[in-house]
């Protein structure tokens, strides 16, 4: 039996609609019509609010007390996805950071099995490292960072045969030929944790790198004579950029610069969330080092930022309330842009016929009231 969601304003991913209904049958949207034209579907009155495409987060290390590196299992993946769902995230890439090869392989296997078992909201895996630049390691453990060899590229290509893979690497530490091989194998290569020059970043983009990981953070910065990786990200109009809008990782003025420089269709809000996010504890251990939450900021004992305490709805509110950005633009950066990056814009990021019924209902203060993943 078809279900008609009524009584809310609707953002389709393109336009706002009043007095319309979203008709769902199974996991898909059947139609979006005026409420008077719903027909025989069972009506569910949402009693106000804004119904929008659900949020998609391509960088989620943990949440609800769970961390993928700490226990790379299907149950951990399920916990992370379930905890962030309450905050509007209907699609994510659970993220494993730089670690021993065995841990990364277990994480890939667990994400692939979670997808096979139908764990709601899991779209693939983000492998952040270990092929990074020690000079810009951030909270990544230096002992696991290493050069990419031919066999490593083969292994990453093999992982991509089991589930969608996003791989963050340093363009000054990985040869363009290996980047090209990875992209040809279907790996979504992202550039980050790198002291690369503009020329090195540009070579990687030309070799097929598709995005830049958490813009401004853990990368060479833009100066007048050397644009660095940050400058390459802002200057390039085709690559996607993930950005952490939490008030801690990036200054609001720098956020405004990024949003002014890049097409909004290429900007992706991300959380880089850790176990504290989405209902987790104030402290957790990251590869033997204690990470503590203080006033919404996560840091190691030496003050180094260690991921975030962010949820996607909070990132949306930050961009609207603190930066004054247009709500439609922000909602697209939280849904349609990451869907397009993942090559899933034909089924996610819009409220339209034949799209997956993965939706979020927001109240007037942009707090999450309800989520649906594939109609459930």
Q: Which of 272, 309, 354, 374 is catalytic?
A: 272
- Which residues, at least 6 apart from 170, have a Cβ–Cβ distance to it below 8 Å? 131, 132, 133, 136, 191, 192, 193, 194, 195, 196
Angle at 374 between CA 320 and CA 356, to 5 degrees: 70
DSSP string, 186-254: T-EEEE-SB---HHHHHHHHHTT--EESSTTTTBPPP-SS--HHHHHHHH-SSSEEEEE-SSSSS-HHH
**Alpha-carbon span 83 to 61, nearest angstrom:** 12
Sheet of 165-169: strand order equals 55-60, 89-97, 125-128, 165-169, 188-191, 211-212, 240-244, 267-270
Can 272 be counted among the known catalytic residues?
yes
The H-assigned helical ranges of the chain are: 74-85, 101-116, 150-159, 176-184, 198-206, 228-235, 252-261, 312-317, 327-334, 336-341
Q: Would you please indicate which residues are annotated as catalytic (active-site) residues? A: 272
């Amino acid at each position: 039996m078809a279900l008609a969601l009524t009584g809310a304003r609707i953002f389709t991913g393109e336009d706002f609609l009043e007095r319309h209904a979203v008709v769902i049958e199974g996991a898909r949207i059947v139609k979006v019509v005026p409420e008077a034209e719903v027909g025989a579907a069972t009506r569910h009155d949402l009693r106000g609010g804004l119904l929008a495409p659900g949020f998609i987060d391509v960088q989620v290390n943990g949440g609800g007390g769970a961390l993928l590196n700490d226990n790379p299992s299907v149950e951990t993946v399920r916990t992370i996805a379930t905890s962030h769902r309450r905050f509007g995230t209907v699609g994510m890439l659970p993220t494993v950071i730089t670690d021993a090869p065995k841990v990364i392989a277990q994480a890939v296997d667990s994400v692939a099995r979670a997808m096979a078992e139908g764990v709601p909201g899991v779209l693939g895996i983000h492998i952040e490292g270990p092929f990074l630049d020690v000079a810009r390691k951030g909270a990544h453990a230096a002992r696991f960072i290493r050069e990419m060899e031919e066999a490593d590229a083969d292994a990453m290509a093999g992982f991509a045969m089991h589930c969608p893979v996003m791989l963050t690497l340093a363009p000054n530490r990985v040869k363009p030929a290996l980047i090209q091989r990875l992209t040809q194998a279907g790996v979504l290569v992202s550039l980050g944790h790198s002291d690369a020059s503009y020329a090195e970043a540009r070579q990687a983009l030309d070799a097929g790198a598709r995005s830049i990981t958490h813009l401004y953070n853990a990368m060479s910065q833009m100066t007048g004579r050397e644009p660095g990786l940050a400058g390459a990200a802002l200057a390039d109009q085709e690559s996607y950029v993930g950005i952490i809008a939490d008030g801690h990782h990036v200054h609001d003025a720098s956020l405004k610069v990024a949003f002014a420089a890049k097409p909004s269709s290429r900007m992706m809000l991300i959380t880089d969330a850790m176990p504290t996010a989405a209902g987790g504890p104030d402290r957790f251990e990251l590869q033997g080092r204690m990470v503590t939450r203080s006033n919404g900021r996560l840091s190691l004992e030496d003050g180094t930022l260690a991921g975030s305490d962010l949820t996607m709805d909070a990132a949306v509110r930050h961009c609207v309330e603190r930066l004054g950005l247009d709500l439609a633009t922000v909602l697209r950066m939280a849904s349609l842009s990451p869907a397009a990056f993942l090559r899933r814009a034909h089924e996610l990021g819009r409220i339209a016929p034949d799209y997956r019924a993965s939706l979020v209902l927001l109240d007037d203060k942009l707090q999450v009231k309800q989520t649906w993943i594939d109609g459930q």
